[in-house]
Structure 1
């Protein structure tokens, strides 16, 4: 039986043309983040299964690629549950591995610690455009800083990177706070123990709209007066920093005033100093599905792409699950695959890419002459030129067309007859 040629469902092979764009995007992100003082680290792709299933990853915990025990530890005959078979899994994001990493190395790291991670993660999700089961995430996190400076730096760094990569694709940073979410729901009369269910329904806003949210809240049994008041509050909030302050005053019976003031301060500062041009707005419907978020949350939407291209927030309680001591933490992740998809759809070419040369020689070339061709190529390479040396195919025209698609702009052909003369 012939072996399968196509990749596993949800995975993808990457062509040289796409790889060039991916490397460009990754380098732009990395250099931008380093300019903001972030230090690059790396964590293993495999994590302990008890960490991955610690009820901090939300729905992602249902999508884990689990790994069987190895060797003598794998005993199929006596296994009575999954715990007897599985002890680890592929990471579904970079946040939980970072929390474990920081817990293990905090004594030798600066405080606060500004971490940069870029790597593949895996989720057994339903594949669709821009969404794969193996994909790259680009994360920055600030650990040990409880002030709003963390959020300001994260938003500025991410917006600067996106502005450099996609200068012609308008994008908007949407921001909210889990405290404001809770305050709005309490102010409108929803019971304390119903918060998560209300937020789950609210999180569907972009798919089902206000009417859909209203219908589902009523179907869930909540009082019509509460639902009506909630929707009116959502519709009438101004989306700038002034609107955040006004909302804070309106919710003063259930919301500590410093929460709204802090969010407004973040928005004011980012708007004042940002290098890139982008939209910044308060979004009272922004929820972020991850259960580990404790405060500020943010997402980035980009023109021409449905869904977010980046997201993050504050998760002050996660590291404490490892150490027993709560540590302030905040992070932002760029959806690398989605950015690459947008660039590919737009016919993007890497700016400033130097032309590549191809030396094509006729079959049967004398070894001494071939050495001279290679020597010439080596001289070009020493000057920083990318040179391919290859034997000429029978269909030379098709060969050159293929190489042109890979960025080769100059061709030099060597024939036995002309070299003899």
Structure 2
């Protein structure tokens, strides 16, 4: 039987060079979050299927990897047998649903305001393409138990600090609020039942333009008057920003909240990055209840981080309202972009120590440890006959120093000068 050596579709192998960058990026993010008081937790990749399906995860609910029941639990002879009978577990599609369950299960031992951090792989059975995988890593920070604007401000500031620590500065924090979206869309004449469908169309504004949004609205079975009102609202909000929201049905209290978050976040940014209001920011998760935000980096056609407030999800597990909000860095997108920019792990001294076949190997290992004590990361290899070719290979692997073993003094040289 021919063996397929490729990873499963939508999955991928990670080379040593990429893994080095990934580990560094993850370490910087985690350390920044720890310094900001967020506690690292870990949840299983497998969740009870009812928790995933009942989570209002938008389109992601169609992408859940379901796990078949085991052994005698799988009864194909059962009358009326359906897909729901096949699976009782699934792979998590994000880190928010597991966190909500974790909090409810452990809340007696957690502070009233819990600041959590998670780093881990999530799984979505979507169509695999460049930059989009079926298994990918997320880095989340969440605050549970704080319903004030302080939570929004802290999450935006802390996520931005993590990116700045990676020397990522050319980005924009885009901010909106689901309460603003709903008020404006309903004020224009749409119904509650039409809200989600209208949001999907508005979300395409940056791709199809205002005329494209108007065309798609008119192609649907919506009131032409409501569609025309919304097009005017989009034009007005684009020109005037938050100053015209009250006339479109948004309460003064909500407008004040949005403006305070924007102004204070800009003050914290101090010019290192931009913070802007974006009425067309939707985000696909149905569980968002208030603030939503994304980080756009350079001219990429996608965000590298996103999140929002989900005040109802935690309470759905235990029947009481508990405020919650989270921000997730799109780890894969960030790493891919850094690699495209030829990112190098800073201050990393990788040295290859070469030896001859006649050298006493235990002495070579001792010499390697001496070099490690000097701060080098050292790999030991036998010297090849074609030294130049061998050194070029190690340069490609990310090594920047080399030395040839000597029982006396071993000289360290730069690979770039070879």
TM-score by length of 1: 0.91
In structure 2, the partner of 1:243 is 241
Q: Report how far residue 372 of structure 1 moved.
A: 1.1
Could you say which residue in structure 2 is the equivalent of 1:314? 309
**Residue 348 of structure 1: CA displacement?**
1.1
CA apart distance, 1:232: 1.7
Which range moved further: 405-414 or 2-11? Answer: 405-414
CA shift in 2, pair 1:373/1:275, >3 Å: farther
Q: Is the 8 A contact 1:174 1:282 kept in 2?
A: yes
Q: For 2:140 and 2:296, locate their aligned partners in 1 and report how far apart those are by CA, in whole Å.
A: 17
Aligned partner of residue 319 in structure 1, secondary structure: helix
Q: How does 1:219-234 map to 2 (within 5 A)?
A: 219-234=219-234
2:321 to 323, 326, 329: 326
Cα distance in 1 for residues equivalent to 2:238 and 2:213:
20
Q: Deviations over 1:311-334 (max 9, x none)?
A: 110000001110101100000111
The corresponding residue for 1:382 is 373
Gaps of 5+ in 2: 411-418
**CA distance in 2: counterparts of 1:174 and 1:166, whole angstroms:** 20
Number of the residue aligned with 2:361: 370
1:214-241 Cα offsets, whole Å, 9 max, x none, are 11111112232322221121122257xx
Q: Give distance in 2, aligned partners of 1:29 and 1:111.
A: 25
Alignment of 1:256 with 2:251, yes or no, is yes
User: Contact (CA 8 Å) 2:183, 2:250: kept in 1 or not?
Assistant: yes
SS of the equivalent of 1:130 reads coil
C-alpha distance in structure 1 between counterparts of 2:339 and 2:43, whole Å: 29
Preserved CA contact (<8 Å) 1:160 1:276: no
Displacement of 1:373: 1.1
Where structure 1 has 5 or more consecutive residues not aligned to the other structure, the ranges are: none
Deviations 1:257-307 (A, max 9, x none): 211110111111111123671111111111111100000111111113111
Q: Is residue 2:341 matched to residue 1:346?
A: yes
Instruction: Report SS of the residue matched to 2:276.
Output: strand
Q: Note if contact 1:381-1:387 (Cα within 8 Å) is conserved in structure 2.
A: yes
Contact 1:294 1:315 in 2 (8 A): yes
Aligned pair count reads: 407
> Separation in 1 of the partners of 2:31 and 2:278?
30
C-alpha distance in 2 between matches for 1:389 and 1:77:
61
2:355 matched residue in structure 1: 361
Instruction: Determine the C-alpha separation between the residues in 1 that align with 2:376 and 2:254.
Output: 55
Contact 2:55/2:97 (8 A) holds in 1: no
5 Å-filtered alignment, 1:11-26, equals 11-26=11-26
Q: After alignment, is 113-122 or 224-233 more displaced?
A: 224-233
1:280 match:
275
* In 1: Cα distance, 2:94 partner to 2:55 partner: 14
Deviation at 1:414, TM superposition (A): 4.6
Q: Which residue does the alignment assign to 2:414?
A: none
Answer yes or no: is the 8 Å Cα contact 1:305–1:342 preserved in 2. Answer: no
**2:387 & 2:8 partners in 1: Cα distance?**
34
Q: How does 1:10-409 map to 2 (within 5 A)?
A: 10-78=10-78, 80-167=81-168, 170-237=170-237, 243-244=241-242, 246-251=243-248, 254-274=249-269, 277-353=272-348, 355-363=349-357, 365=358, 369-409=360-400
- Does the 8 Å CA contact 1:130/1:338 hold for their aligned counterparts? yes
What is the CA-CA distance between 1:76 and the residue it aligns to?
4.4
Asked whether the equivalents of residues 357 and 385 of structure 1 are also in contact (C-alpha less than 8 Å), the reply is yes
Report what 1:410 is aligned to.
401
Conserved? CA contact 1:179–1:295, under 8 Å: yes
Deviates more, 1:127-136 or 1:258-267: 127-136
TM-score, length of structure 2 as denominator length: 0.92
What CA distance in whole angstroms lies between the structure 2 residues aligned with 1:395 and 1:66?
52
How many angstroms does 1:14 deviate by? 1.0
Q: Check whether the contact 2:236–2:244 (CA below 8 A) recurs between aligned residues.
A: no
State the shift of 1:415 in Å: 8.8
The answer (yes or no) to whether the contact 2:305–2:328 under 8 Å persists in 1 is yes
